Amino acid sequence: LRKKTEEIGKIISSNLNKEKNSYDNRITLFIDPDCGFSDAAVKALVKFKKDNLGWKTKGVIVTNGVNLKERLLQKQNYFTNDIEFSIDLSGNLAKQFGIQKTPAFVIRYNGRYYKIIGQTDLDETISKLNK
């Protein structure tokens, strides 16, 4: 009986941890390196990450791959600021979130998703989600 109780306790604890982790707050920034507003959006995300260490952040560069090397070399500062960037060559990730314009922030907060297009003050936006 003691063994069974311990096993059940472990299962319940594991399930609670999974549920807790499913509500991790995170922000994903979608940018196009050719968009003039992308630099400001990256700076806003970097500032937010420094002020909110509990949040997970990442960036996604949406591009068709034409002159990709040159475009990324011009935007080297994106990769020196503790934000992990990936490249969405096929556009599938952007389609998954319904991103048609950049910059766009996809915010997962308390288990819900929010999509914000354009320039934004992330601290102010998050505070509005609390209401």
Render pLDDT for 34-85 as a digit per residue (tens, 0 to 9): 888 988 999 999 999 998 888 999 999 998 778 888 888 888 878 878 889 9
Determine the residue type at 36: G
Integer CA distances (angstroms), 122 to 30, 71, 96, in order: 14, 26, 22
pLDDT for residue 21 is more than 50: no
Give the closest residue to 61 by CA, choosing from 94, 37, 26: 94
pLDDT band at 12 (very low <50, low <70, confident <90, very high): low
**Which pTM was predicted?**
0.76
What is the percent of the chain with per-residue pLDDT over 70, rounded to a whole number?
85
Kindly report which listed range (24-33, 37-46, 94-103, 120-129) carries the lowest average pLDDT score.
120-129
Kindly report which listed range (5-9, 106-110, 113-117, 119-123) carries the lowest average pLDDT score.
5-9
Per-residue confidence (pLDDT) for residue 7, from 0 to 100: 72
Give the closest residue to 58 by CA, choosing from 68, 48, 66, 73: 48
pLDDT for residue 19 is more than 60: no
Per-residue confidence (pLDDT) for residue 18, from 0 to 100: 46
Reported as type and span, the H/E element at residue 109 is strand 104-109
Determine the residue type at 58: K
Q: Please, how many CA atoms are within 13 Å of residue 107, restricted to the half-sphere of its CB? A: 23
Position with higher pLDDT, 14 vs 47 = 47
